[in-house]
Structure 1
Amino acid sequence: MSSLKKPTLVFTVFSTCATVQVARGNLLANDLPDGHAVFLSVAGSVRAYLSANRAF
């Protein structure tokens, strides 16, 4: 069962990272403060961590 969940976990982490990168790019393009980009990056990391724990 765990072997089936690993690809899903990897996909979840990569998709979350990609979403965070796009969001950061949009924020920088809109000239918003860098603090917002950092916050989104941290929030994305936390969400990926929680998703990983929920997968197991």
Structure 2
Amino acid sequence: MPQLNPNPWFSIMLMTWITFLLAIQPKLLSFTQINLPSTKHTSPHKTTPWTWPWT
């Protein structure tokens, strides 16, 4: 069965991952994020208890 022969496909996959890890990934990680996380408010939320009709 020719699809089980890893000769051409394993080398193509390996070269693709090496290209991604060494060339593309550092360029993508160098971009700054637009939506930076903001600081959380420390005031607690006011919650009201739920009244269940069967209790």
Normalised by the length of structure 1, the TM-score is 0.39
In our comparison, the structure showing a higher alpha carbon Rg is: 2
Q: Relative contact order (alpha carbons < 8 A, sep ≥ 6): 1 or 2 greater?
A: 1
Normalised by the length of structure 2, the TM-score is 0.40
Q: Which has the larger helix fraction?
A: 1
